[in-house]
Structure 1
Amino acid sequence: MMNATMAKQMAEKDGFIAALDQSGGSTPKALKLYGIKESAYSNDEEMFALIHTMRSRIIKSPAFTGDKVIGAILFERTMDGEIDGIPTAEYLWNKRGIVPFLKVDKGLMDDANGVQLMKPMGDLDVLLKRAVEKSVFGTKMRSVINAANEDGIEAVVAQQFEIGNQILSHGLMPIIEPEVNIKIEDKQDAENLLLASIKAHLEKLPEGRQVMLKLSLPTEANLYKPLIEDPRVMRVVALSGGYPRDEANRLLSQNAGMIASFSRALTEGLSDGQSDAEFDSTLSATIDSIFEASRKG
């Protein structure tokens, strides 16, 4: 059974979701932006230790609380780690009032029909059981749409909802993320196809079940309003998709009812070399700006 208090927060509270789920492929870039060069580590264990230190610093900051950050998405290794001797997900909820989610996908397949499906997740049930044991509320999984190809987009959405139902069967809330690449020329056409496909798959959800959706900021403001208003959708959140934070916030504020789930836009301006006071001040200003954009939306 889902934690009812967490569910209420996710469904109703003002705020946004922090995406702290960089995986093995994206961690070197995240560390570089944070001011840590690849020469600072010599293997994956050292790399992941450094990113966990970075994430822990964010989570422990006085600005990072459930007052404005209502949820946080974790990488599997972050979930398995601890902050001050407390498992990360428990620390988030019990110490910060932030609902924990877990990234569960294993990366993307090669492009086919203009999309990248998720790689197989053969051990997903085992991972979901561990997530439940570690007090995680929900999950997130990402596909990518690179062209307005109807067959490809339908394949992405069908895969997302199929695995979403598997996640729901464990009592976890799935965040379904079919990301539309913001750089493609036919982005708006792809978004219209995506909206139609998601609507069709929501109709097939078992009665009484809900999902969350994480979508690229749309070309047409309020395109996803029908999804936001659908009772089968707990929340629609936006990914920054490579937009700088100011632009992501501007676009988000144009979409009523949509809240942020930013990753790079959240950590923009943070540096390993900052004093704690500088770090906390920068993060506080960032959180305030994303919170306001989410609330305006």
Structure 2
Amino acid sequence: MQANQLEKIKNGKGFIAALDQSGGSTPKALAGYGVSEDAYSNEEEMFDLVHEMRTRIITSPAFDSTHILGAILFEQTMDREIEGQYTADYLADKKGIVPFLKVDKGLAEASNGVQLMKPIHDLDETLRRANERHIFGTKMRSVIKEANPEGIKAVVDQQFEIGQQIIEAGLVPIIEPEVDIYSNDKEKSEQILKDEILAHLNKLDDKDNVMLKLSIPTVANTYKELIDHPRVVRVVALSGGYSRDEANEKLKENDGLIASFSRALSADLNVNQTDEEFNAALRDAVESIYDASVNKK
């Protein structure tokens, strides 16, 4: 891990771009970009097209380190190249942006009001390759749908157990227990979640660091105690289905919380835009998300 990358993520001004839609969500991501399913006939062609989309985003002049601290990649993106360099090296060397890798294999069936992560059987091998590809940190997602204390505890236990394995591989895990924004008892879930996360943070060794990726809380600054915790490098927020404008407005109310948006970042981008139109749309998104991450109410 490079000390300057840790410093940038910990104290830099900006946000983290989430470019990590995986196999199941790729058709939806491509459709949003204006590429329909009849444009590809197999998975290989689909992943070629999504890499073209991500390459266009990453190489855009609007995608810059003035506004963006890091970018989360899908495993296939890590293994592919942009302008003759592996994606993580291109991000770090050409853009000054810190690369992260999504490592989870998707969600298990709902139980106790939550969805745990499916088993990650090849995690050691993935982490070895991530180190080879100069990845700084990882990301893995669970989902909380109800304020079920047993379920939420299971989510956080699983996240930190796998997080410890990631720390031991020399990477910084982004722990992402997403609370569904449409949950009927979202605020109650967030309080239980905060307490469970704090209990785990307080058990970490002084040399162990994590990041957190959380839904924007119902009550502003609910997560301030987590943001200020010495074992937390940074707390980032997902857009979670909010429109960009709504996510930005909610984000501004939370001191120290920065964005890690996916759909809200790329919603206005289209395959048929000219480069000028594409770069202008991306620049508008980047600047508004940066503003919400840096300038608080």
TM-score, with structure 2 as normaliser = 0.99
Equivalent positions of 1:75-90 (< 5 A) are 75-90=74-89
1 CA distance for matches of 2:77 and 2:9?
21
Which residue type is aligned with residue 79 of structure 1? Answer: M
1 CA distance for matches of 2:203 and 2:228?
17
Match of 2:90 in 1: 91
Deviation string 1:176-214 (CA, Å, 9 cap, x unpaired) is 000000001000000010000000011111222110000
2 CA distance for matches of 1:128 and 1:246?
36
Match of 2:207 in 1: 208
Which residue type is aligned with residue 116 of structure 2? Answer: L
Deviation at 1:65, TM superposition (A): 1.2
2 CA distance for matches of 1:207 and 1:289?
36
Any idea what SS the aligned residue of 1:126 has?
A: helix
Deviation at 1:287, TM superposition (A): 0.4
Match of 1:101 in 2: 100
Equivalent positions of 1:65-214 (< 5 A) are 65-214=64-213
Any idea what SS the aligned residue of 1:113 has?
A: coil
Say whether residues 1:41 and 2:40 are aligned partners: yes
Deviation string 1:204-246 (CA, Å, 9 cap, x unpaired) is 1122211000000000000000001111100000000000000
Root-mean-square deviation (Å): 0.6
2 CA distance for matches of 1:186 and 1:22?
27
2 CA distance for matches of 1:167 and 1:99?
17
Any idea what SS the aligned residue of 2:260 has?
A: strand
Match of 2:232 in 1: 233
Where does the alignment leave 5 or more consecutive residues of structure 2 unmatched?
A: none
Match of 2:51 in 1: 52
Which residue type is aligned with residue 215 of structure 2? Answer: S
2 CA distance for matches of 1:206 and 1:38?
48
1 CA distance for matches of 2:115 and 2:99?
26
**Structure 1 residue runs of 4+, over 4 Å off?**
none
Match of 2:252 in 1: 253
Match of 1:24 in 2: 23
Any idea what SS the aligned residue of 1:179 has?
A: strand
1 CA distance for matches of 2:293 and 2:202?
27
Any idea what SS the aligned residue of 1:167 has?
A: helix
Match of 1:10 in 2: 9
2 CA distance for matches of 1:20 and 1:124?
20
Q: How many residues were matched structurally?
A: 296
Deviation at 1:57, TM superposition (A): 0.1
1 CA distance for matches of 2:173 and 2:200?
14
1 CA distance for matches of 2:4 and 2:71?
16
Which residue type is aligned with residue 85 of structure 2? Answer: I
TM-score, with structure 1 as normaliser = 0.99
Match of 2:291 in 1: 292
1 CA distance for matches of 2:92 and 2:163?
23
2 CA distance for matches of 1:114 and 1:132?
35
Deviates more, 1:198-207 or 1:50-59: 198-207
Match of 1:278 in 2: 277
Any idea what SS the aligned residue of 1:262 has?
A: coil
Any idea what SS the aligned residue of 2:183 has?
A: coil
Where does the alignment leave 5 or more consecutive residues of structure 1 unmatched?
A: none
2 CA distance for matches of 1:53 and 1:243?
26
Deviation string 1:92-147 (CA, Å, 9 cap, x unpaired) is 00000000000000000000100000000111000001000101000000000010
